[in-house]
A = this chain, B = another copy of it.
Amino acid sequence: MQFHHHTLPNGLTILGETNPAALSVAVAFWVKTGSRDESPEVSGVTHFLEHMVFKGTGRRDAFAVNRDFSRIGADNNAWTSEENTVFHAVVLPEFLPEVVDVLADILRPSLRTDDFNTEKKVILDEIAKYQIQPGWAVYEHARKNFYAGHPLGNSVLGTTASVSALTRDQMADYYGRRYVAPNIVAIAAGNFDWDRFVELVGKACGEWPTGEAPRTQRTEPSGAGGVHVVTKPPDKVAQQYVTFIAPAAPADDDLGYAGALLSTVVGDYTGSRMFWALTDPGLADEAGMGIDECDAAGAYYTSFNCPPDRASECYGIVRKLLDEVQANGITEEEFQQAKTKILSRELRAGERTGRRMFTVAKDWVYRGEYRSVDDEMAAWDAVTMADVRAVLDRYPLTNQTVTAYGPLEQL
């Protein structure tokens, strides 16, 4: 595998990782904008705009967009998060020109008022559907409680009120400010010719407007703390959901490796402390811990759900478990086991062009550097028990903001 990068005169970044042994090529347009870049009055616009990108351009209506992906057998999709909007597709190597053509074209959407009004209903339906999913509802509440006004707590979907009030012109304004060339990365990973990719992207995107799209409020959130209880009637939400959030290392901080390793020991879906304490004995239906690495911020998410009559016991177990790890760290055996798990997962992910594309793009966007599979393996391998202690000291697992969602009135 070989890395390449290039910047167009308008500021658009082109990245590539060529792998002649791959059977496919993965291509994405990565836009560095998400819900944290929204003002309250346009809450949800980033995600809504992601939908509108598939509704057509001057050259293609929505039917033609779908048809032109289908025709080349593309496995394509898009996602929106708090910080990024990404449009991606995996195709056979021979379809590189076609996939760049359609992806680049849709990134200049017409934003027709008719389509905007029709799609608004789809988005409102989506919000309504999510709202009744307790796993999603607890996550939204927990983020709001933890971030307490910091824009990272903004909802990706927005609210029924904010999306209903949104106008086509507000979206066009947001699009114009955020989808500028220097805020976009075009990337390919897999079996393709780098020079050809640069030529295709240059031709398709060379005239895109340039401009600055700075991100404001990049202070590191410290977490509001406290225990927040959202009570729902048992006929609406049968299980009790509890989510803990604590500050963790940002995406560009090397302490993040030790943090991810720690969260694997504490809360991996299998073989972790939480697995043995809650899942294996059947106390909780689901229990786990993960890490979210963001721009100048990071967070540990610890959560479980269980029947309401066991919630107090499970809550006590998790609190005690986190206190215990904070005080005494993890064992050498747990450390080695987690490292093997992570190395194995990372290496397997490295076999897929679609996964390499995301990893290479993320490293570039967040760390400003390229890392090969070998570089990543070496970085994981270099983590020590002392790093785990260091990350515990800097980001204590006891610094939690807790949100409960379900039938209980207190934990």
Name A residues whose Cβ lies closer than 8 Å to a Cβ of B: 21-24, 63, 66-67, 69-75, 90-92, 95, 122, 270-271, 276, 280, 282, 337, 340-345, 347-348, 350-353, 373
Given known A-B contacts A337-B71, A341-B70, A348 and B23 have beta carbons under 8 A apart: yes
Shortest A405–chain B CB gap in Å is: 21
Whether B24 contacts A73 by the Cβ 8 Å rule is no
Q: Within the assembled complex, what's the spacing in Å between the Cα atoms of A342 and B73?
A: 7
A347 touching B271 by the CB < 8 A rule?
no
Give the complex CA separation of A72 and B95 in angstroms. Answer: 39
Supplied contacts A24-B351, A73-B343, A75-B344, 7 more A-B pairs, CB within 8 Å: A21-B21, A23-B347, A23-B373, A24-B348, A71-B340, A72-B344, A92-B343
CB pair B348 A351 closer than 8 Å: no
Q: Can you give 25 contacting A-B residue pairs, CB < 8 Å?
A: A23-B348, A23-B351, A24-B344, A63-B276, A66-B270, A66-B271, A66-B280, A69-B270, A70-B270, A71-B337, A72-B340, A72-B344, A73-B337, A73-B340, A73-B341, A73-B345, A75-B345, A75-B348, A91-B344, A92-B344, A95-B344, A122-B282, A351-B352, A351-B353, A352-B352
Nearest B residue to A271, CB-CB:
B70
**Distance in angstroms between the alpha carbons of A352 and B356 in the assembled complex:** 13
- Give the complex CA separation of A71 and B332 in angstroms: 12
Most buried by B among A72, A95, A270: A270
Q: Please, how many angstroms separate the alpha-carbon atoms of A118 and B210 in the complex?
A: 64
Best-buried of A24, A70, A75, A91 by chain B (most CB within 10 Å): A70
Shortest CB-to-CB span from A55 to chain B, Å, is 12
Whether A348 pairs with B71 at a CB distance below 8 angstroms is: no
Cβ of A340: which chain B residues have Cβ within 8 Å of it? Answer: 71-73, 92
With CB as the reference atom, state the residue of chain B lying closest to A90.
B348
Q: How far is the CA of A19 from the CA of B137 in the complex (A)?
A: 45
Write the nearest CB–CB distance from A307 to chain B, whole angstroms.
Answer: 12
Chain B residues contacting A122 (CB-CB under 8 Å) are 282
Q: Are B24 and A271 in contact (CB under 8 A)?
A: no
Residue of B nearest to A348 (CB): B24
Q: Which residue of B lies closest to A125 (CB)?
A: B282
User: Which residue of the partner chain, among B72, B90, B95, B350, contacts A23 with CB atoms under 8 Å?
Assistant: B350
Q: Which residues of B contact A353 (CB under 8 A)?
A: 348, 351
How far apart are A66's CB and chain B's nearest CB, in angstroms?
6
Q: Which residues on B sit within 8 Å (CB–CB) of A337? A: 70-71, 73
Interchain CA distance A270-B270 in the complex, whole Å: 34
The residue on B at minimum CB distance from A349 is: B23
CA distance A122 to B281 in the complex (A): 11
CA distance A21 to B342 in the complex (A): 20
A188 smallest CB distance to B (angstroms): 15
Query: Which of chain B's residues has its CB closest to A268's CB?
Result: B70
CB contacts (< 8 Å) of A63 on chain B: these are: 276
Minimum Cβ distance to chain B for residue A321 (Å): 17
* Chain B residues closer than 8 Å to A271, beta-carbon distance: 66-67, 69-70
Chain B residues whose C-beta falls within 8 Å of the C-beta of A270 in the assembled complex = 66, 69-70
Q: Decide: A351 near B91, CB < 8 A? Known: A70-B337, A73-B345, A271-B69.
A: no
A171 and B170 alpha carbons, distance in the complex (Å) = 65
User: Complex: how many Å from CA A337 to CA B74?
Assistant: 10
Shortest C-beta distance, A27 to chain B (Å), equals: 13
| Contact present for B347 and A92 (CB under 8 Å) | yes
Q: Which of A21, A63, A72, A341: most chain B Cβ within 10 A?
A: A341
Min distance, Cβ A377 to any Cβ of chain B, angstroms: 10
The CA-CA distance from A173 to B46 in the complex, in Å, is 59
Q: A92-B344, A271-B67 are in contact. Are A22 and B351 (CB under 8 A)?
A: yes
Q: How far is the CB of A95 from chain B (nearest CB, A)?
A: 8
Closest A-B pairs by Cβ, 7 of them:
A73-B344, A70-B271, A73-B340, A73-B341, A23-B347, A24-B348, A92-B344
List residues of chain B with CB within 8 A of the CB of A69.
270-271
